[in-house]
Amino acid sequence: MRSVKVGSKVFGNLVNRGGCGRVRLQKKVSSIIEKVRSEGDSALIRYTTKFDKINMKKKDLRVTEAEISGAYQDIKPEIINTLKEIIGNINKFYTNQVPKSWSIRQESGIELGEKFAPIEKVGVYVPSGTVPLVSSVYMTVLPARIAGVKKIVMMSPPNRYKSIDPHILVVANLFKVDEIYKVGGAQAVAAMAFGTKSIPKVDKIVGPGNEYVTEAKRQVFGYCDIDMLAGPSEVLIIANHYANIDYLRKDLMSQAEHHKGLSILVTPSKKVFNALYKDPDIKGYLIKVKNLEEAAEVSNMIAPEHLQLMVKSPKRVLKNITNAGAIFLGQYTPVAIGDYIAGPSHVLPTGGTARYSSGLNLRSFIKSSHIISYSRRALCGSAGWVRGLTELENLEKHWESLSVRCE
């Protein structure tokens, strides 16, 4: 591991590791989006041939019922039992997040409130590289379903057999995804944002992806909503002498399984520092601090996606933590348990964006409307305040819309 001092240039680069994509990447993605927007399905087919090396026709874009039925024959039955356990955990977590509409009535004749409603149509992107990312299906689809989203559309790149991995298809089918399409990359994001003859336009796009997918999500934001701009996976571990060195080593090394994964260890312990300093098997950064209070300050500055508190009393340190996507407490709570079965979604803010954003959750799929109701007495009783403000902003017609009701 590489030792880094707080306040150094390298430390500054860790804190400010986010940012926009490269100019060349932006231009490539912009071109793809505009082609899909103007040419629709034909552009999707052309890009699938170019990037995925798969020749497809328009009728091949959507996954058929026969493909889904066939997928059940290609998976092990045990996966169904595993999914049942996961569903139970996710349901327990997210049912506690369901917001309730509310209102308050004042004696003056004013009623104020808030109405919650689910987003109508959501698009889910599921990457599919060398291995099927099955967990990305249930970590995105289930919160949307619990929130009450009416229509869920899923996109995933096709494999060499012009299909999608059977595990992904089965999980998507079990969670009642409405439509599944064999499209990947920036072109998939563009298709969901603007719609084509085959693919419906959605109101929000969620799910992880490579740099092209992420840049496409950034560029279509505004035409639809997105969950976040997710970068490479990252973990920061705060550990003291109480931590098991073997656990630390394995947790730090696990990030190397992710493309460009980032591992950071922050410790006040000489024992921990000396045990892992210059460890050739761990690619990451080691930060020595004075105490656990400074460790929390450093962590908040870096604002990691995953934060592990491997100390004897993790809840004491937790009180000082303000910026983290997900926080894992104690020796027996590695990031992997959150990635797969704990319950909360593993789609989390990266690149320091945990300073101002949250991980994917049930509220990500719900919007609210403010409710305002005034009686005539309450309206006219507030007229003087409104008059002063409309004069200040020189908006006379705004005042007239109120005054006509009080004449």
Q: What is the tens place of the pLDDT at every residue in 375-398?
A: 999 999 999 999 999 999 999 999
pLDDT above 80: residue 320: yes
Question: 2-19+232-355 architecture in CATH?
Answer: 3-Layer(aba) Sandwich (3.40)
pTM, rounded to two decimals: 0.92
Report the alpha-carbon distance of residue 61 to residue 281 in Å, rounded: 43
Q: Could you give the angle at which helices 166-174 and 134-147 cross, rounded to 10 degrees?
A: 10
pLDDT grade, residue 258 (50/70/90)? confident
Which residues make Cβ contacts (< 8 Å) with residue 157, sequence separation at least 6? 52, 127, 128, 164, 182, 183, 184, 185, 188
pLDDT for res 130 = 64
* Token code pair at residue 18: 């986010």
**Which tens digits make up the pLDDT trace of 13-28?**
999 997 656 899 999 9
**Which tens digits make up the pLDDT trace of 38-85?**
999 999 999 999 999 999 999 999 999 999 999 999 888 888 888 888
The edge-to-edge listing of strands for the beta sheet with 102-105 is: 102-105, 110-118, 366-374
Q: Which helix (H) or strand (E) holds 401?
A: helix 396-403
pLDDT for res 19 = 64
Contact of 359 with 303, CB cutoff 8 Å: no
**Which of the residues are catalytic?**
305-306
pLDDT above 70: residue 153: yes
DSSP 59: G
pLDDT for res 20 = 58
Q: Considering the chain, tell me which residue range(s) the CATH 3.40.50.1980 domain(s) occupy.
A: 2-19+232-355, 40-226
Compute the average pLDDT of residues 171-197: 96
pLDDT above 80: residue 351: yes
pLDDT for res 255 = 86
Compute the average pLDDT of residues 189-208: 97
Compute the average pLDDT of residues 238-267: 94
pLDDT above 90: residue 107: no
Q: Which stretches of 6-145 are assigned E, i.e. beta strand?
A: 102-105, 110-118, 121-125
* Token code pair at residue 58: 């328009």
* Token code pair at residue 80: 């169904």
In terms of pLDDT, which residue wins out, 372 or 83?
372
Distances 320 to 268, 308, 334 between C-alpha atoms, Å: 16, 14, 20
In terms of pLDDT, which residue wins out, 407 or 124?
124
Task: With CA atoms as reference, report the closest residue to 212 among 196, 231, 226.
Answer: 231
Q: Count the neighbouring beta carbons within 10 Å of the beta carbon of residue 293.
A: 12
Q: Count the residues in the chain.
A: 407
Contact of 259 with 70, CB cutoff 8 Å: no
The CATH T-level fold of domain 40-226 is Rossmann fold (3.40.50)
Contact of 361 with 139, CB cutoff 8 Å: no
Tell me what the pLDDT averaged over the chain comes to. Answer: 94
